[in-house]
Structure 1
Amino acid sequence: MEKVRNSNMELLRLLAMFMVLVYHADFLSLGVPKMDFAMNASQWIDSSLRFLIQSACVVCVNVFVMLSGWFGIRPKLDRLISFLFQVTFFTIVGIFVNVMLGGRHLCFDDLKNLFMLNDNLWFPKSYLLLYLFSPVLNAFVERTSKRHFRILLIGIIAFQMVYGWLSRGVAWYMGGYSCIFFMELYLLARYVRLHVDYLHYSKKFIILSYA
């Protein structure tokens, strides 16, 4: 059968990538805006808009990972090498810009950054582990029943709410920015794709997912 390109989902993936750029530019590059009663009306509007943009774009990573689960990751060596090359290339570009325009010297931390051996670049490492673990997740999805799949998701989400959100009892959960959370999103997207009549509940599902 001829494969049909899912243009709407591909467009959503591009939108998620654009939101990543906006998210990092808004607060990390321009700084967090300050709001106090001494500000005039235009400053209040500007700061409020920036907070609104940041809030709207914070879902970018989750959307990107859920799209991976929606389509399903089919790991291949050439794709893995391409992913690592992209991370290495842009890391080198970042180091070069910092040295040439930032006025600082090369150091051992730059070498660690290049090979992702420190706490920076959390996303490539989390996604890399998800990518390597995807065959196991795919095997579970293909062989388990809908009921067992649903029970697993309920258990994971309950764990997340109690220990990752309410009590903050697991530091390794990283507030949702970790590989274990990526696996949860991946499985959730696979469940919706395979077992939910998402077209019937499309509007409600989109609103709930964004929340």
Structure 2
Amino acid sequence: MQSSNFDKQTNKQTNKQTNKQTNKRKSNIELLRIISMLMIVFHHFGVHGGFEWKASNITIQYLWCNLIVIGGKIGVDIFVLISGYFLITSQGEIFNLKKILKLWGQIIFYSLGIVVIFVLIGNHNYNVKILIKSVFPIIFSSWWFASAYFVLYIIHPFLNIFLNMLSKKNYQTFLMLLIIMWSVIPTITTSEFQSNSLGWFLTLYAIAGYARLYGFNKIYTTKKYFILCLIFFALTYSSSLMFVVLGARWSVFFNHATYFYGMEKLPTLLISLTLFMGFVTLKIDYHKWINTLASATFGVYLIHDNNIVRPFLWIDVFQNFKYQNSLFLIPYSILVVIFVYMICTFIDLIRQRIFEKPFMFIVNKYADNIVKSFVKMCNVLKKIMFG
């Protein structure tokens, strides 16, 4: 009898440990988050560094910058693909105020915090307009990605209902329509075809949702996905180099050297999707340090690409433009990007511990009552509007 009780207790402990391991998110996708954010930071180093390139003077430094900026929109696409992959199966309530406020809290923390810090140190002028924008960063698109992503996050439960109701065949048809309208046509014609950032995010969400629910062709292994990604990357970069060569004679080509780098362009979509699927099929167990670093990736973005921080970082502090004609630009860019990434990660991990925990304690305490009040208000409005 004692032995039986001991076995039961042992089994309970084993089951608890197994459940904990099961609930822990594997680190393959989390590693991809880190890589994607590094690509985005490299992109911003090249785009916002104050460089002035000329078609008549193509240098190794220019070719390097042309190479690192390709990762920016790839990183953006991958972040949305990751969200769609995980959120498509979420079966929670339609309006999860706790998660929404958690996301909003992180955005507002950096929006207000950065303004306050720069005003206090005298590096930024204060006025009512700046204050209003910093209080409502999502409405005024202080970060374009954050605003579009926030809206996507709010409406994703309704997307899930729609996408999960589709048959596999209809889902495939729906995806083909979205890709043709908002990727193929814009790539060929330069027209956005009534799309915008949010419309493109919806497309990526649907693509990732299909990957999670049904998967793609099983003949594609991790190795094949990575090979395809390298091929698409090489072709995209080669097309840019061809534009650069032609731009030496016709400036219009040089001015559009990064045309295929756009987040909705078909080459970028193919690179993003194959890289994403490569990591989805990659077998990496749970590693706490990877997941911890990955939890700060959105914070890295909010800090380093803030409208106030951006010129201060790349122009004032690191003065990227000074290395335009120096071969040291390549190692310098690598060191700077890693340094910026590490500092921003450190800051966000501190924010999570010191500010987010007490904030979420308050949210968890009062969110349910707020939601109930909100639902009552919506029901009253429904009766007024629809009878």
TM-score relative to the length of structure 1? 0.81
Question: For residues 8 and 24 of structure 1, what CA distance do their matches in structure 2 show?
Answer: 25
Please, which of 58, 62, 71 is the counterpart of residue 47 of structure 1? 62
> Which protein has the larger Cα radius of gyration, Structure 1 or Structure 2?
2
CA RMSD of aligned residues (A): 2.7
The alpha carbon displacement at 1:115 in A equals: 0.2
CA contact (8 A) 1:69 1:186 kept: yes
- The match for 2:171 is 149
Describe the superposition over 1:90-129 as per-residue Cα deviations: whole angstroms up to 9, x where unpaired. 1123323443353423341331243033353221121111
- The match for 1:66 is 81
Q: Residue type matched to 2:135 in 1?
A: L
- The match for 1:192 is 211
- The match for 1:104 is 125
Please, which of 95, 99, 115 is the counterpart of residue 115 of structure 2? 95
The alpha carbon displacement at 1:66 in A equals: 0.2
| Pair 1:17 & 2:31 matched | no
CA gap 1:147/1:46 in 2 versus in 1, 3 angstroms: same
The alpha carbon displacement at 1:143 in A equals: 2.1
Aligned to 1:59, the other structure's residue is in SS state: helix
Count, aligned residues: 203
| Pair 1:82 & 2:102 matched | yes
Question: For residues 37 and 164 of structure 1, what CA distance do their matches in structure 2 show?
Answer: 29
The alpha carbon displacement at 1:192 in A equals: 1.8
The alpha carbon displacement at 1:34 in A equals: 1.3
The alpha carbon displacement at 1:78 in A equals: 1.7
The alpha carbon displacement at 1:197 in A equals: 4.4
Unpaired stretches in structure 2, ≥5 consecutive residues: 1-18, 233-269, 273-387
CA gap 1:10/1:87 in 2 versus in 1, 3 angstroms: same
Identity of aligned residues (%): 26
Higher RCO, Cα 8 Å, sep 6+: 2
The alpha carbon displacement at 1:46 in A equals: 2.1
CA gap 1:19/1:114 in 2 versus in 1, 3 angstroms: farther
CA contact (8 A) 1:33 1:50 kept: no
CA contact (8 A) 1:35 1:47 kept: no
The alpha carbon displacement at 1:154 in A equals: 0.6
CA contact (8 A) 1:91 1:114 kept: yes
CA gap 1:186/1:199 in 2 versus in 1, 3 angstroms: same
Unpaired stretches in structure 1, ≥5 consecutive residues: none
CA gap 1:31/1:204 in 2 versus in 1, 3 angstroms: farther
CA gap 1:65/1:55 in 2 versus in 1, 3 angstroms: same
The alpha carbon displacement at 1:85 in A equals: 0.8
